[in-house]
Structure 1
Amino acid sequence: MMTKQDMTAREVALTALDRIRRQGAYSNLQLNQLLSKHHLNDSDRRLATRIVYGTLQHQLTLEYWLQPFVKGKRLDSWVETLLLTALYQYHYLERVPDWAVTDETIEIAKHWGNPGIRKFVTGVLHAVLRRGFPDFDQVQDPEERLAVQYSIPRWLVHELGAQYGRAQAAQILKAVNDPARLVVRVNTAVTDLATVKAGLHAAGIEYQESRVVPNALVITKGEILDSPLFATGQITVQDESAMLAVDSMAVQPGDRVLDACAAPGGKTVQIAERLDPTAGGRVDALDIHQHKARLIQKNARRMQVDDRVVAHTLDARRVDEEFADESFDKILVDAPCSGIGLLRRKPEIRYTKKLADSQNLHQIQGSILNAVAPKVKKGGIITYSTCTILQQENEQTVQEFLAAHSDFRLLTTKTSRNLKDDRALATLTILPSDYGSDGFFISSLQRIL
């Protein structure tokens, strides 16, 4: 595959996507690296970004549509990726004319390949425009049809159907292909909601108030990361569902809190905002990697709460090495998980995760809970949360912990906005189809002995 010194938006997208699909590179890191290297204007940066995330998000659908036009031919990976990006643009980018997509895709094939590749790509694109896309109804198996339609691997379609029922699973599958929203949380340690609203208004940034959690704003227009509000730590980017874990903890100013799986520190600083160091309030934040522990402390400095945050390079399963029993009023275990609740924000993970990953993570989650359990005071609460919606990492992990720890009981998880208070379960699961936020799970485990 040839490369060019100065790439167009579509070439940047193609380069990023081919590395992601071939090498398993992280989409955000790969795209950011290329955007910083090739100086595109704002509209081209947005186009490259949309093509990368959109093609990843709809990859199985696009492959289904492409298959009849390539008739099982073995394609170079970059050629297949190029064709998938063209199909994505034809179908999903209504403001981009088909002729523009066709012309530039053929031009890329010409420059990056040979005359044979250019001719092949030209023929495929013209055939697609002439014949249109294959219908999903041609797929007879219901689970396979959903997998193709929503670009979700069949194992996950099956799991969601088994756990939530086919109707709710279909709503979840549809929701994870909606655009991810940009949400900011107001840092109440240094400012308030009204002041932030005024600052956003002055900067021409448009927003809506969150329905999910207080002191959060959904940004609808404008570049928030360039604003002084972000630079000075008055706001931070965090999904509404992720805010709910700390929202449910009812942290008090003098609490000693352990954030057992903390990096990059979003929930650590959210906890810290509620603490008063003069009253003894402090949060100890753990991560197994030193550079991530440094990132937690850096985040705390930006948010102006580093006087009540102590970051440790420590595996949460080895807390005995650092902390005495009954050291903490509250513990947050925002556990390593499959991340299935984040599919709209991290589209490539839908293709890399397997059911076995979820089962292995369940074991790790249990071992972390077992390790930290003695560290919470009697009457204190362990908040166990994940950013997945698979029950083997959520309800199953909680129930196994309770079965092994008669000194704990499960409380009903409460939030400031009383979300889903009519539910039957004590735990709280936020589905991507509930509020337009990420999928998330929260449980509250109180030590009673």
Structure 2
Amino acid sequence: MSTVDNTPRWLAVAALAKIKNGAYSNLQLNQLINEHRMDRRDINLLTNMVYGVIQHRLTLEFWLKPFVRHPHQLDPWVRELLLSALYQWQYLDKIPQRAVFNETIEIAKVKGHPGIRRFVTGVLHQMDRSGLPAFDTIEDPDERLSVTYSMPVWLIQELRQQLGATKMEAIIASLNQPAKQSLRVNTALSTVSDVTTALTNDGLTVEPSKISSLGLVVTDGQAINTEAMRYGMFTVQDESAQLVVPALNVQPGDQVLDACAAPGGKTTQIAAELDADAGGEVVALDIHANKVRLIGQNAARMHVADRVAATELDARKVQTQFDDESFDRILVDAPCSGLGLMRRKPEIRYEKQLQDSLNLQKIQLAILAAVAPTLKKGGIMTYSTCTILQQENQDVIAKFLADHPEFELQTTPTEQDLKADRTDKTLSIYPDDYLSDGFFIACLRKK
């Protein structure tokens, strides 16, 4: 068996070919890491290569195009092999070009036939001799931005229209930076101090979040493999996502509805604020039975199962099972385009179109309208998304309030007083603000 069969580069090419055919990057990576014994350095290189090639795909394809007449007619693994070689050569400073080229050619030799090896060798040497094309050869300014930052033209144009050219470019530039490894401490079981100590003792480097009082950011090491994680002292959750539940102002005895709950990250955060002995409970809905089971598993791991009622139900049909004014608090963490997660799920940028946001807006409004009657008078309903387009955010809230005068918009609070000088009552966190996920949070009070 060749020595390249299980190297990070070989595995990255295999993963990228599957992802290009519709597989999810995070699931592919988790599967490969579980199936192959790799040390931390190899895991880091594999992860870096897979996410890096996806993030920079439009840039890499632009560089490859002059050297391959019909790149989309190549076998998927050959195309991904060349793109991954380009990524390493241009973006990974610590790996010598010679090492990148040699192993790329060796993979072509072992995985393909002699003709593929000669083809790959010829392309790499021609790139080296001729140099890569420059971005300034692209005449159209939006296409140039698209290739430079590997972002679809429609999204560049939409963000410019909504936020201005300067903010748009800051956002798209930030989205190719690595995602932080952020954690939320489970206050039902532990404290920020105790989790910090536990992880530090395990050799990790940890610092407090500047966004969330319950958040920690791991700057070195893998928190997911620790005993503290297995015991439920914390969960993996982006810093921006941690802001949603505090905006609900949950009280210990509250009845809470989490209308779109899977996989249960925010459900368990709500549950940590509740007291089962005082009657506190969160009803966590999802439309799929397997995801309802996942909510239950997460609640058990986080030691809050006594406060969580995971229920299979479409949130748009909530009134078939719950009476009017059943809940003190409602969270609608709505299905959305996920464009705020592009740093963490880079393939999203190539899969979505503006029409997707407009289609989702109808679903988002339908969920809000369906759950609204089940909120008690004086209760709070928080609406959140992990997208950065106003079609799914500000426009949804404006349309809902126009149809529901019994609700009023309140200023979204944050414990860290984020964006204190903003004029909007809603809270928009963009990916360049704190290098966290993009998020939108609105708080609606029932009069």
Q: TM-score, normalised by structure 2?
A: 0.97
Is 2:29 the counterpart of 1:31? yes
SS at match of 2:363: helix
1:239-282 deviations in Å (ceiling 9; x for gaps): 01001111211111111110000000000000011111111111
| Structure-to-structure mapping, 1:212-361, within 5 angstroms | 212-361=211-360
1:63 equivalent in structure 2: 61
Q: Give the deviation of 1:4 after TM superposition.
A: 10
| Unpaired segments ≥5 residues, structure 1 | none
- Residue 40 to residue 230, structure 1, CA distance change in 2 (3 Å): closer
SS at match of 1:94: coil
Q: Give the deviation of 1:205 after TM superposition.
A: 1.3
SS at match of 2:224: coil
SS at match of 1:105: helix
1:320-366 deviations in Å (ceiling 9; x for gaps): 12111000011000000000000000011111111111111011000
1:191 equivalent in structure 2: 190
1:168 equivalent in structure 2: 167
**Comparing 411-420 and 195-204, the one that deviates more:** 195-204
1:89 equivalent in structure 2: 88
CA distance in 1, matches of 2:184, 2:160: 33
State whether residues 19 and 25 of structure 2, in contact with CA within 8 Å, keep that contact through their aligned partners in structure 1.
yes
Is 2:83 the counterpart of 1:79? no
Is 2:46 the counterpart of 1:48? yes
1:387-416 deviations in Å (ceiling 9; x for gaps): 000000001111110111111111111111
Q: Give the deviation of 1:72 after TM superposition.
A: 4.0
CA distance in 2, matches of 1:86, 1:254: 57
CA distance in 2, matches of 1:309, 1:134: 56
Q: Give the deviation of 1:44 after TM superposition.
A: 2.2
CA distance in 2, matches of 1:6, 1:14: 11
Counterpart amino acid of residue 26 in structure 2 = N
Q: Give the deviation of 1:5 after TM superposition.
A: 11
CA distance in 2, matches of 1:84, 1:418: 43
State whether residues 4 and 10 of structure 2, in contact with CA within 8 Å, keep that contact through their aligned partners in structure 1.
no
1:160-201 deviations in Å (ceiling 9; x for gaps): 111111110000001111100011111111121222222122
CA distance in 1, matches of 2:234, 2:86: 38
SS at match of 1:437: coil
Q: Give the deviation of 1:68 after TM superposition.
A: 1.2
1:149 equivalent in structure 2: 148
State whether residues 207 and 220 of structure 1, in contact with CA within 8 Å, keep that contact through their aligned partners in structure 2.
yes
Counterpart amino acid of residue 59 in structure 1 = R
State whether residues 428 and 443 of structure 1, in contact with CA within 8 Å, keep that contact through their aligned partners in structure 2.
yes
CA distance in 1, matches of 2:299, 2:59: 42
Is 2:103 the counterpart of 1:104? yes
CA distance in 2, matches of 1:213, 1:38: 35
SS at match of 1:438: coil
Q: TM-score, normalised by structure 1?
A: 0.97
Counterpart amino acid of residue 225 in structure 2 = D
State whether residues 411 and 446 of structure 1, in contact with CA within 8 Å, keep that contact through their aligned partners in structure 2.
yes
- Residue 4 to residue 405, structure 1, CA distance change in 2 (3 Å): farther
Counterpart amino acid of residue 265 in structure 1 = G
| Unpaired segments ≥5 residues, structure 2 | none
CA distance in 2, matches of 1:215, 1:35: 29
Is 2:373 the counterpart of 1:364? no
Q: Give the deviation of 1:114 after TM superposition.
A: 2.1
CA distance in 1, matches of 2:407, 2:258: 19
State whether residues 206 and 217 of structure 2, in contact with CA within 8 Å, keep that contact through their aligned partners in structure 1.
yes
Counterpart amino acid of residue 24 in structure 1 = G
CA distance in 1, matches of 2:59, 2:148: 6
CA distance in 1, matches of 2:36, 2:192: 38
- Residue 5 to residue 50, structure 1, CA distance change in 2 (3 Å): closer
Q: Give the deviation of 1:41 after TM superposition.
A: 3.5
State whether residues 6 and 38 of structure 1, in contact with CA within 8 Å, keep that contact through their aligned partners in structure 2.
no
State whether residues 257 and 330 of structure 1, in contact with CA within 8 Å, keep that contact through their aligned partners in structure 2.
yes
Q: Give the deviation of 1:37 after TM superposition.
A: 2.8
SS at match of 1:391: coil
CA distance in 2, matches of 1:42, 1:416: 35
State whether residues 12 and 35 of structure 1, in contact with CA within 8 Å, keep that contact through their aligned partners in structure 2.
no
1:192-233 deviations in Å (ceiling 9; x for gaps): 122222212222211111110102111011221121211111
1:83-105 deviations in Å (ceiling 9; x for gaps): 10000000111111111110111
2:422 equivalent in structure 1: 423
